[in-house]
Structure 1
């Protein structure tokens, strides 16, 4: 359950998802995460580092550890499901009320 608690914290999964592309500095990571506040990003990086999922290389770049990479691979099926879900929601469904966006 500790993993669910950690991953359930706002921005934790997003930070890990962005780091899957490789080592990233604090500011570029903050930009990739839609400009989240620096205090929240710093807190999530501390938590993910303490959990052994992220490490800081030198004084600037953050990267996933082997455990962090394993976690991202485990999240792959969920990401694929979420893409299909988003596509399904975008399609008109029988019995579903049309929103104003459906008419644009």
Structure 2
């Protein structure tokens, strides 16, 4: 706001060409689930979180099979915002 000397201020708006671009402007899809979702905690599957992310038990089983794991092997498994899985095993397999 700028003082014009008459006791009233003026408001200036940025020109359209200087406004920040949005994901919508670029036709990029947005994800409603940007927060990490816990999928397995202490060896137990959190099925509500699978449902909230529109994931199935079959998807989870496939991901576990790829890694030759069962839920009981996992201390903590979370799906982070970029759809990557973070898995903390009870026993890290460092020597295998």
With normalisation by structure 2, the TM-score equals: 0.28
More strand per residue: 2
Structure ID, larger Rg: 2
More helix per residue: 1
